[in-house]
Structure 1
Amino acid sequence: MRFLLALLASLLIAAPASADRIKDLGGFQGIRSNQLTGYGIVVGLSGTGDDNLEYTVQSLKAVASRFGLQLPPNANPGMKNAAVVMITAELPPFAKPGQRLDITVASMGKAKSLRGGSLIMTPLLGADNQIYAMAQGNLAVGGLGAEGADGSKIVVNIPSTGRIPEGATVERAVATGFDSAPMLTFNLARADFTTAQNVAGAINSKLGFGSAQAIDAVSVAVRAPVGADVRATLMSTIENLDVVSAEPSAKVIVNARTGTVVINSAVRVGPAAVTHGKLTVRIDEKPQVSQPAPFSQGQTVVTPNSAVAVEEERRPMFLLNPGPKLADIVKAVNAIGASPADLVAILEALKEAGALKAELIVL
C-alpha cells in the first residue's frame, strides 16, 4: 500500500506546466465520425442459429424475394443455421466511396454462436436513414460455446458477437462543410476558459492579431479564407502549434467498488488535524462437552463458553499545515498506514470539514 501511494505521489506531484500540441486538446467542428447501423442475416451456422423465430423467418423470406424466389406464406423453413443480427460500424471523417470499414455483428435472437457464419449483403444506414455503406463477409468470432446432451454447457467469451475486418464498403461520403463554413471552429475536449484563451493567443501569434478569438470555454473561432486546399493547410498549421494548457481543477476521484483513489496535483488541504483509529470486537466460541461418569445415568451436555474481547488500535493524530500539496498529503497518510478504504474515509471527513479544497467524485 505504501509503495502504491508513493508511486502515486511521484506521478502526480505538481510540475511546471508544459506545452501541448493544439491537436491533442480537441478537434475542429464538423470533423467527426458517424455511426452506422444495419439489420441483416448471418447464414452458414452449424445448428446454433435462431431456431424458427418469427422475425427470422420473415427476414429470410425477404432475402429470398430479392432473387425472385417466393416462399409460400405458411412456409416455416428451419432456421437453426441462420440468425438475425445487428451490424454496427463507424464512418470516419472524409471517408470516400470504395474505402473499407471494420464492422461488428451481434445476434438479436436466440442464436447460441455466430462462429463459422457469413453475413449476407446488408446496407448500413446513418442517422438520416440514408445508405452510406454495404456490409458482407465471413465473421471472425473470438467466443466459443459447447453443450452436452445432458444440458451441461460451457461458454468462453461471447460467441454471439463477431467482427468482419474491412467487412463494409463506403458508398457515400459525408459532407463536413469545413471548406465553405464562414469560420473554422476549434472545440476543446475539456472546457476551460484559460486554455481557450491560450489557444486563441497561440493562433494569433502565428497568423496575426484578430485571426482567432475564444467564444466560450470550449470553442475558438478562427478566420479562414474559403477553399478546401487553403483551409487544409491552415488547419495543419494550427494543429501543430504548441500551447500551455491550464492547470485542471482540483479533483479527488474515488472508486468505491475497487478502492482506487486518484488525486490530481491541484488538490490543496486547509489546516486540519486528523486521526484515524480502528475498533475490533472479537467473539470466540469454545464450547465444552460435559461427559457423565460411567453407569451414572447422566446425559452428555454441551456447555457454552464465550470469550469476548475488544481491541482498539491506537494511531497518533497528524497535522496538515495550510496549503499542503499532493506529496504532503500522501506522506501524512503513509505515516499512519491508511488503507484505500481508510483514505476514502479521511478524504470525506476533510471535505465535510471544509478543509479539502477539491471536488470529491465517488464513482
Structure 2
Amino acid sequence: MYVSGNVSILARLLLCLLLLVHAGAGRAERIGELADFVGVRSNALIGYGLVVGLDGTGDRTMQAPFTGQALANMLSQLGISIPQGANMQLRNIAAVVVTAELPPFARSGQTIDLNVSSIGNAQSLRGGSLLMTPLKGVDGLVYAIGQGNIHVGGVGVEAGGSGVQINQLAGGRVPDGGMVERTVPLDIVGSDGSLTLQLKRPDFDNARLAAKRINEVFDQQVAHPVDGSAIRLSAPEQPGQLVNFMATIENIEVDPRIDDSLVIVNSRTGSVVMNSRVTLRPAAVAHGNLSITIDTRYGVSQPGPFADVGRTVVTPDTEIVIDQGEGALHMMEGAALADVVSALNIMGASPVDLMSILEALKAAGSLRASLKVI
C-alpha cells in the first residue's frame, strides 16, 4: 500500500488494504505459486553488437574507438576493407550490449525479447536497427542470434540550446528480436529418480503443509519435506507420465501459513507498507514538529536634506520565530491493522514522521512486527 500526501489518505488506503486482506483470508493457493521445480530455470544471455540507422545521435567514434573497431571487423567479414588509419567520423552508429533471458524448455527457432543498452556516448538509440548479434551464455557458447528494429520508450527534443527529455533514450527493446539456436538441457530428475520442489519463500510449516497435501492427493507417500525450502518427490517410473505428474503437483491447492507481521519503510520515497498481522502493544507517544523561521527585512537610514553630517546606510531587521508544534501525549494500542492505522491517524503524522514513529515504537518493543528499511 503506497502512502503519500496527508494522513487521511493514509488511513483510507490502509483500511482498504485491510478489507482486501480479510476478503482473501483463508483462500488456498496453488503449489505452483508457492514453489518451483529445481532444474526448471531460465538462463542469462549477453552479446555485443552495433546499432545503425541513427539520426546523428550515435557514438562519437573519436571518443569511443571500440565502435569504429567493431564496424571495421564487421565490414571485413563482408568483404569490405577499410584503409589503415582511416578516420571514420560516423554519427549514425552506436555500440551496444544486448541482453536476453533464455526461458526453460526453449527450442531452436523460438523467439525471445532483447534488451539493448548503449555502452558508448550515443545520445539516443531511437530509430536504430540492431545488426545480427550473437548472444552467448556463461559457458561462452552461442545460444541465440539477435537482430531487429529497436523500440525506445523515451523521447527527447532540443531547440535553441534548450531540451526536454522523457525517460531514457540510450536503451530500448527488440520484441521477439532473438532467435534461439541452441537448447539448454535441463536436469529435472535426479540420479535417484526424484524431483525436488523449492519454496520461493522458505518456511518449515509451509513445506510440511505442502508435502501433506501432495500425499493426500496421491494417497501415498510421494512427498518428503527435506528442510524449510525443499520437498523431495518420488518421480513416476515411466518418463511419459512425468509431465502429468508435475502438472498435478503444481495445481494442488494448499492453505499456506500466514506471513509474519512486517512493516516496510522506503526512506527515499516516504512509502510505508504494513501487512494485516501488524499489532501494537500499549505505548504512549508524543510527537511534535520543531520549526525555526528566520526573516530579515532591510531598511534604509539616511540623513535629512542639506545635512552636513551623516551618511546613508542599510539597516537589517532580523526576526526569529521558533514553533514547536503540538506534542500531546497519545496512548497507542491495537490488535489489528485498523487499530494501528487509527492510532497513527490520531497522531496527525505525515508519512515522513510516520517512519520516525514506527522506528521508535519498534525500539520500545511496542510494534509487534519486523521493521525493514529499504
TM-score by length of 2: 0.87
Q: Which residue of 1 aligns with 2:244?
A: 233
Tell me the equivalent position of 1:222: 233
> Which residue is equivalent to 1:35?
44
Q: 1:168: which partner in 2?
A: 178
Task: Report if the CA contact (8 A) 2:54-2:93 is conserved.
Answer: yes
Counterpart position of 1:87: 98
What is the CA RMSD across the aligned residues, in angstroms?
2.5
SS of 1:271's equivalent in the other structure is: strand
Could you tell me how far apart the structure 2 residues matched to 1:303 and 1:54 are? 62
> Paired residue for 1:51?
60
Q: How does 1:270-349 map to 2 (within 5 A)?
A: 270-297=281-308, 298-321=310-333, 324-349=335-360
* Equivalent position of 2:34 in the other structure: 25
Closer, same or farther: CA 154–318 of 1 in aligned 2, 3 Å: closer
Deviation at 1:244, TM superposition (A): 1.1
**Equivalents in 1 of 2:319, 2:127: separation in Å?**
64
Deviation string, structure 1 residues 115-153 (Cα, Å, up to 9, x no partner): 3332222211111111111112222333345556x7655
- 156-165 vs 204-213, greater mean Cα deviation: 156-165
Determine helix, strand or coil for the equivalent of 1:79.
Answer: coil
Of residues 194, 197, 202, the one that matches 1:191 is 202
**Could you tell me whether the CA contact under 8 Å between 1:178 and 1:228 is conserved in 2?**
no
Corresponding letter in the other structure for 2:17? L
- Residue 8 of structure 2: which of 2, 19, 22 is its match? 2
Structure 1 residues 342 and 30: alpha-carbon distance in aligned structure 2, compared to 1, 3 A threshold: same
1:61 paired to 2:77 = no
Between the aligned partners of 1:263 and 1:286, the Cα distance in structure 2 is 47
- Give the Cα–Cα distance (whole angstroms) in 1 for the partners of residues 248 and 206 of structure 2: 18
Separation in 1, partners of 2:339, 2:345: 10
Paired AA for residue 35 in structure 2:
G
Letter in 2 for 1:28: F
Q: CA 1:226 to 1:127, structure 2 compared with 1: closer, same or farther past 3 Å?
A: farther
Alpha carbons of structure 1 residues 284 and 203: separation in structure 2 relative to 1, 3 Å: same
Alpha-carbon distance between aligned partners in 2 of 1:146 and 1:282, rounded to the nearest angstrom? 41
Q: Which runs of 5 or more structure 2 residues have no equivalent in the other structure?
A: 1-6
Identity %: 45
Output the CA distance in 2 between the equivalents of 1:311 and 1:68. 78
Which residue number corresponds to residue 110 of structure 2? 99
Letter of the structure 2 residue corresponding to residue 189 of structure 1: K
- Please tell me the residue identity of whatever aligns with 2:276: S
Q: Map of 1:114-153 to 2, 5 A cutoff?
A: 114-145=125-156, 153=163
C-alpha distance in 1 between matches for 2:161 and 2:328: 60
C-alpha distance after superposition, 1:266-285 (max 9, x if no partner): 22222222222233444444
Question: TM-score if structure 1 supplies the norm length?
Answer: 0.89
Deviation of 1:88 (Å): 1.1
Deviation at 1:290, TM superposition (A): 4.2
Secondary structure at the aligned position of 1:68 is classed as: coil
Q: Is the contact between residue 179 and residue 227 of structure 1 (CA under 8 Å) also seen in structure 2?
A: no
1:50, distance to aligned residue in structure 2 (A):
2.3
Give the gaps of 5 or more residues in structure 1: none
Return the match for 1:213 from 224, 232, 245.
Answer: 224
Whole-angstrom CA distance in 2 between matches of 1:206 and 1:305: 84
Paired with 2:288 and 2:65, the residues of 1 have a C-alpha distance of 64
Tell me how far apart the structure 2 counterparts of residues 254 and 84 of structure 1 sit (CA, whole Å): 39
Structure 1 residue 207, shift from structure 2 partner? 1.4
* Matched AA of 2:104: P
Determine whether 1:113 maps to 2:124.
Answer: yes
Post-superposition shift, 1:98? Answer: 0.8
Find the residue that maps to 1:278 and give its secondary structure: coil
- CA 1:340–1:146 in 2, change beyond 3 Å: closer, same or farther? closer
How much does 1:289 deviate? 4.2
Aligned length: 361
Map of 1:244 onto structure 2: 255
- Classify the secondary structure of the residue corresponding to 1:98: coil
Q: 2:365 — aligned with what?
A: 354
- The answer to whether residue 269 in structure 2 is matched with residue 263 in structure 1 is no
Larger mean Cα displacement after TM superposition, 137-146 or 78-87: 137-146
- Say if 1:295 and 1:72 are closer, same or farther in 2 by CA, change over 3 A: closer
Does the 8 Å CA contact 1:179/1:228 hold for their aligned counterparts? no
1:44-100: CA deviations, max 9, x gaps?
333333233432222122212323334344344443332222111111111111111
Query: 3-state SS of the aligned residue for 2:353?
Result: helix
Q: Aligned to 1:313, what secondary structure does the other structure show? A: coil
